[in-house]
Structure 1
Amino acid sequence: MRWLGHPAVKPGVFVVWLLPAAWLTWAAFADRLGANPAEALIRSLGDWTLRALVLVLLVTPLRVWTGWSQLARLRRMLGLFVFFYGSLHWLAYAWFDKGFDWQEVLVDVPKRPFILVGTLAWLLLVVLAATSFNRAIRWLGAARWQALHRAVYAVALLAVLHFFWMRAGKHNFAEVAVYASIFAVLLGWRWWRHLMRRRSSAAAGRVSVPQG
């Protein structure tokens, strides 16, 4: 699809992904977040983090299945939006739950498993965001950079576990199952593709061996 290469696409996607944050900011100030606005804000930011993560993991499969190579130019920006919403989600917890009392945060995180795994996911996002630029690719080298950025799969697993534990208290697992299924399919596809590549390489190696 040629329109994906249009110069206006990236700014347009950027604006679209800022809209949820803008709406939540307006809703918070306008008192439109319900009876428990702090909880609504924290959970909404977590939801948008998961949605952005789904899109990031969808970019490569869609590019391969459809041949829309221009999708690759959106992946980095979408990844930074995962970090953006994940950071707002974590900071909202630190603000509304702990009043930015960092000593209380440090005590609370290890005590509650769902916050611990969520924090681990966010710390991985910090590393990925900090190394998402061309200078980091040159510094690390392409192979090591790609290996590091496969940590996005660990982020997805930790995010689902965080979501599962958060919903366990209310025995509400419907949305958890949806995200877990999506991530399982996407990660399964990547694992299958990796195996196919290894088999192709092994087959090519056997063909190239000279016969005595």
Structure 2
Amino acid sequence: MTPVAQTINGWTRKVPAWPLYILAVIPPALLFYKGVVGTLGIDPVKEMEHQIGLYGLQVLIATMCVTPLRRFTGINLIKYRRALGLITFFYITCHLSVWLFLDVQIWSQIWADIVKRPYITIGMGAFILMIPLAVTSNNWSIRKLRKNWTKLHKLIYPAVLLGGIHFLLLRKGIQLEPLIYLTIIVVLLVLRLPPIAQRRTARA
């Protein structure tokens, strides 16, 4: 373990995870405020919807970084992983709520959009996969599910991949930003392949 990793790990032992939940409320609240006062552009609902969804994808990627960061650098942020996962679910729920209640509004059109628009279908698939992860992100579920808890939480892998594809399709056409996000996601998934993970563990 490097001196930098030791220093960071020393800090993390002193800093609890609960402040993350408070800080997580600020970005969507600020977006809502900007939408109310009219500083989010000509389509504030769409801007709010897309920005909150991007926050969710960013935090989900940060959650995925915890394990390889510990494995390859020795920096241990495991104590924050549950908070990051729940914050991701909070952001994606806000993203979905803005789409349902402020964007579409016509409930009869919601199912039609889910079926006809691939990026919405994929996005809903990612959200559905995240529901059991959020529901079981507690100590009681860990005790009850035991080894099955670890298996269940591997749903984060298809969820993050679907989230990256959702972002790519949403932007329509080939754009650099969603491609960068999708590339990062693929790299994080590849790092979890058994041969790579086992080789790094053996070296450690």
Q: TM class, shorter-chain normalised?
A: 0.7 to 0.9
Rg larger in 1 or in 2? 1
Q: What's the C-alpha RMSD, in Å, of the aligned pairs?
A: 1.9
For the residues of structure 2 that align with 1:111 and 1:181, how far apart are their CA atoms? Answer: 26
Which one of the candidate residues 147, 158, 165 is aligned to 2:162? 158
Aligned residue runs from structure 1 range 83-94, under 5 A = 83-94=89-100
Q: Which residue of 2 aligns with 1:133?
A: 138
**Greater RCO (Cα-Cα under 8 Å, separation 6 or more):** 2
Q: Which residue of 2 aligns with 1:173?
A: 175
Greater shift, 158-167 or 104-113, is seen at 104-113
For the residues of structure 1 that align with 2:27 and 2:195, how far apart are their CA atoms? Answer: 34
Aligned residue runs from structure 1 range 66-145, under 5 A = 66-69=73-76, 71-99=77-105, 101-141=106-146, 143-145=147-149
* Residue 194 of structure 1: how far off its partner (Å): 6.1
Q: Which residue of 2 aligns with 1:3?
A: 11
User: Which ranges of structure 2 fall in alignment gaps of 5 or more residues?
Assistant: 1-8
Which one of the candidate residues 41, 45, 64 is aligned to 1:38? 45
Q: Which residue of 2 aligns with 1:28?
A: 35
CA contact (8 A) 2:53 2:95 kept: yes
Q: Name the SS of the counterpart of 1:190 in structure 2.
A: coil
Percent of paired sites with the same residue = 32
Distance 1:193 1:9, change over 3 A: farther
Relative to the length of structure 1, the TM-score reads 0.84
Aligned residue runs from structure 1 range 177-192, under 5 A = 177-192=179-194
Distance 1:117 1:191, change over 3 A: same
CA contact (8 A) 2:161 2:186 kept: no
Code of the aligned partner of 2:93? S
* Residue 91 of structure 1: how far off its partner (Å): 1.1
Paired positions, count: 193
Greater shift, 16-25 or 44-53, is seen at 16-25
* Residue 17 of structure 1: how far off its partner (Å): 2.5
For the residues of structure 2 that align with 1:16 and 1:62, how far apart are their CA atoms? Answer: 23
Distance 1:102 1:137, change over 3 A: farther
User: Which ranges of structure 1 fall in alignment gaps of 5 or more residues?
Assistant: 201-212
Q: Which residue of 2 aligns with 1:205?
A: none
Deviations 1:24-76 (A, max 9, x none): 1211121111011011011001110111011000111112223233x111000
Relative to the length of structure 2, the TM-score reads 0.87
Which one of the candidate residues 196, 203, 206 is aligned to 2:198? 196
For the residues of structure 1 that align with 2:187 and 2:63, how far apart are their CA atoms? Answer: 14
* Residue 13 of structure 1: how far off its partner (Å): 2.8
